[in-house]
Amino acid sequence: MTAVDEIKARLDIVEIVSETVKLRRTGKNYIGFCPFHPNSRTPAFVVFPDSGTWRCFGQCNEGGDIFKFMMKKEGWDFPQTLQALAQRAGVTLEPPTPERQAEDEQYARLRGLLDDAVTLFRHHLLQTPEGQPALAYLQKRGLTAATIETFGLGYAPDSWQTAIDYFTAKGFSKQELLQVGLATERQNGEGVYDRFRNRITFPIRDAMGRMAGFGARILNPEDMPKFLNSPQTVLFDKGRLLYGLDQARKAIRAQDQVVIVEGYLDVIVLHQAGFTNTVSPMGTALTEDQLRLLKKYTRRIVLALDADAAGEKATLRGLELARQTLDRTTELDFDPRGLLHHEARLQADIRITTLPQGMDPDEVALRNPDEWKQILENAKPVVVHVMETLIGGRNDLDDAKVKRDIANQVLPLIEDVPNPVERDAYRQRLARLLKVDERSLLSARPDTGLTRPRRRPQIREKLSTAAQAAGLTGGAVKLTHDLEKHVLCLILRQPDSLYTLNRALQKAGLRHLDVEDFENTDHVLIMRTVEESLQQDDLDAMDYFRENLPESVHDLSEAMQQPMEYGEPVLEKRLEDLFFSVLRLRQNHIRQQLDQIRFIQEDLQEQGEPGLGPYQELFLQYRQMRDRLDRALGQPVQFD
């Protein structure tokens, strides 16, 4: 893919044009007044999302793609436009070296190999006796001949060499077959064999309709695994693809909604039934890349989970499901906290719907399309789905301890919702479902860490003076500086680890790590930029960090990212180091504050004043925080 193609794939022309032109949807396109000539009577400017183009049917009589629009709007030449849009899309521009040109040609050849494989597998499905059981199975599942043709379904013969012999005869090397995942190397390294054997094949394409790989389903119940996908290749990255998006993107934009289901056949049958805004993540948990891809078309997302995956059993086991490996049976992960995180980051509307017990989406759609339509209309926000799943059908809600346990599971999710109005609404709903006073939920709200006690200016000034007088600004301050620096070193190695850290802190009853934990001004600037990089979704987090970090701390940041003296620990050890370093940093802060207050107490006693006066409440709060940190330091850390 060229840089221009990648930029067009990542950027939404409607979003770009909307920054200048007030657009109104008309059918599947958008219209507005042309920004390039005066006109206030007839909207003659049209944006065509499907083709990524625009045209003025008025005085200008011009049109083009996103590049032409920006060049005309800003007066830039092409290189300037390419630079600006590449930066916005997070695409790294590289000169078209001979090596890169050769690489692009090789990618095109590999995609051609995969296209040929679609033809080969389709031939074996429709025109060979061996493929008849596979065809019968697809027909039994309700697929028509037209649908089989549209989605390019096929059959991989029950043979170890069919694909290899066919493609080597056409001039492809065994190395190329390995590169696209059609062949697998034998364990002893001596030769290769067909990866897909005696399976129904599902071509997997990217959003632009180009071949990337295959999914394959067993016919023989004795075979394992049930679903087998192409391995990670230069063309196939499972976390960046959505099955069916090439067929669904027009409908998603037109309906301003996407429905996410689990399996290939779910997608295919729903498309056949007219629900063409349906895609599948192919068995993995939804990734940020997949949701960013969908954001180009809509921010209204419905996750259609089967009754088991979304039900009480999954919800009660800590609201965490492990991500499936590439070749495991399809199972869509349900992680409410992760979905809320995506919802907040992408400013999306993510809803959950549950299927009838024991039924898959394709079975519902074949039985009654109107029933499927009603299921989608009844989709509920993530938090509502969780609380109703936990509470629905129970007959022990009169038990106060049951109410407490349910509240303890739902309230952390409510606190993760960024909008205060939504939080209040969810809290009120939970109170009604549990039949308790909402004020009791407010008082029982999970402690996400004691916030720093607010101190009156006079107290803050006296504490600072006391610290200097007590000689507390030496070793303790250096320790704080060193701990702050160490924490930042660990975070900069993997900014996303901040999410894992904060979930672990919350489990320990402590507040999230933020800029309030840092005292050194340079460290505050670096931490603030890290937070900003994770809160935006236009660029890769580290690209945003490098572009927006204040110049004054560039050198310090670079030094922090140098290899550690003791070597790079594995991820789990690094997370554990980060967690306990944060606890020790906070412990050191509190120790300094308590020492300062004790020094003030001695001063007050010399003046004949008993007790701590206005510092008593502050002293008790710090001791409470210290005790909580001590308990957390003495327990094993729990990561998601």
Could you tell me if 193 and 255 are in contact, meaning their C-beta atoms sit under 8 angstroms apart? no
The structure tokens listed for 238 are 């499972």
If one compares 380 and 608, the residue with the highest pLDDT of the two is 380
Per-residue pLDDT band for 316 (boundaries 50, 70, 90) equals very low
pLDDT, tens only, 93-103: 877 678 777 88
* Secondary structure letter of residue 515 according to DSSP: G
Over its C-alpha atoms, the chain yields an Rg (Å, rounded) of: 29
Residue 249 reports pLDDT greater than 50: yes
pLDDT, tens only, 115-147: 999 999 999 999 999 999 999 999 999 999 999
Burial of 110 (C-beta count, 10 Å sphere; 0-12/13-18/19+):
buried
- CA gap 474, 595 in Å, rounded: 13
Number of other CB atoms surrounding residue 141 within 10 Å: 15
Residue 286 reports pLDDT greater than 50: yes
Return left, alpha or beta for 191; rule: phi > 0 is left, psi -120 to 50 is alpha, else beta: left
pLDDT, tens only, 54-94: 888 777 777 888 988 988 888 777 778 888 898 888 888 87
- CA gap 302, 286 in Å, rounded: 12
Task: Report pLDDT for 177.
Answer: 97
Cα–Cα distances (Å) from 240 to 172, 181, 206, 236, 264, in that order, read 27, 17, 9, 8, 16
DSSP per-residue string spanning 568-587: PPPHHHHHHHHHHHHHHHHH
3-state secondary structure of 160: coil
Task: Report pLDDT for 317.
Answer: 34
Residue 160 reports pLDDT greater than 90: yes
Fold of 457-633: DNAb Helicase; Chain A (1.10.860)
Comparing 47-56, 208-217, 472-481, 621-630, the range with the smallest average pLDDT is 472-481
Most confident region among 185-199, 492-506, 580-594 by mean pLDDT = 185-199
- Give the start-to-end residue ranges of the domains of the chain: 3-89, 98-236, 240-387, 393-443, 457-633
Cα–Cα distances (Å) from 359 to 330, 365, 452, in that order, read 15, 10, 51
Comparing 41-55, 92-106, 231-245, the range with the smallest average pLDDT is 92-106
DSSP per-residue string spanning 47-109: EETTTTEEEE-SSS--EEEHHHHHHHHH---HHHHHHHHHHHHTPPP----HHHHHHHHHHHH
Task: Report pLDDT for 455.
Answer: 43
- CA gap 329, 502 in Å, rounded: 31
The structure tokens listed for 279 are 């895609």
Q: Which residue has the tokens 């609201």?
A: 319
- CA gap 459, 51 in Å, rounded: 64
Biggest alpha carbon–alpha carbon distance for the chain = 103
If one compares 347 and 533, the residue with the highest pLDDT of the two is 533
Task: Report pLDDT for 465.
Answer: 46
Comparing 292-301, 334-343, 467-476, the range with the smallest average pLDDT is 467-476
* Residue 259: partners with Cβ closer than 8 Å, 6 or more residues away: 270, 275, 277, 278, 279, 302, 304, 376
Per-residue pLDDT band for 508 (boundaries 50, 70, 90) equals confident
Could you tell me if 601 and 613 are in contact, meaning their C-beta atoms sit under 8 angstroms apart? no
Comparing 282-291, 319-328, 355-364, 625-634, the range with the smallest average pLDDT is 319-328
Task: Report pLDDT for 333.
Answer: 56
Closest Cα partner for 153 from 163, 161, 145?
145
Could you tell me if 268 and 318 are in contact, meaning their C-beta atoms sit under 8 angstroms apart? no
- Residue 55: strand pairing partners: 46, 63
Task: Report pLDDT for 60.
Answer: 77
Name which CATH class applies to 3-89. Answer: alpha beta
pLDDT, tens only, 178-187: 999 999 999 8
- Residue 260: strand pairing partners: 279, 303
Q: How many CA atoms lie within 13 A of 234 on its CB side?
A: 16
Fold of 98-236: DNA primase DNAg catalytic core, N-terminal domain (3.90.980)
Could you tell me if 294 and 301 are in contact, meaning their C-beta atoms sit under 8 angstroms apart? yes
DSSP per-residue string spanning 203-265: EEE-TTS-EEEEEEEESSTTSS-SEEEPPS-SS--GGG--BTHHHHHHHHHHHT-EEE-SSHH
Residue 372 reports pLDDT greater than 60: yes
Percent of the chain with pLDDT over 70: 83
Mean pLDDT for the stretch of residues 502-529:
84
3-state secondary structure of 304: strand
Question: CA torsion angle for 569, 570, 572, 574 (degrees, to 10)?
Answer: 30
Per-residue pLDDT band for 284 (boundaries 50, 70, 90) equals low
- CA gap 611, 126 in Å, rounded: 90
Mean pLDDT for the stretch of residues 587-595:
78
Task: Please report, as a single letter, which amino acid is at residue 455.
Answer: R
Tell me the residue ranges of DSSP E strands in 385-531.
none
Comparing 263-267, 490-494, 567-571, 606-610, the range with the smallest average pLDDT is 567-571
- Residue 29: strand pairing partners: 26
Fold of 240-387: Dna Topoisomerase Vi A Subunit; Chain: A, domain 2 (3.40.1360)
Could you tell me if 356 and 289 are in contact, meaning their C-beta atoms sit under 8 angstroms apart? no
Cα–Cα distances (Å) from 202 to 111, 122, 181, 226, 625, in that order, read 15, 10, 14, 13, 56
Cis peptide before 225 (omega within 30 of 0): yes
Residue 460 reports pLDDT greater than 60: no
Task: Report pLDDT for 569.
Answer: 55
Could you tell me if 7 and 89 are in contact, meaning their C-beta atoms sit under 8 angstroms apart? yes
* Secondary structure letter of residue 23 according to DSSP: -
- CA gap 57, 62 in Å, rounded: 7
Task: Report pLDDT for 299.
Answer: 82
pLDDT, tens only, 317-354: 333 322 222 223 334 556 787 788 777 766 788 899 98
Comparing 299-303, 364-368, 445-449, 575-579, the range with the smallest average pLDDT is 445-449
Task: Report pLDDT for 29.
Answer: 81
Q: Which residue has the tokens 């024991």?
A: 358
Closest Cα partner for 614 from 380, 450, 458, 415?
458
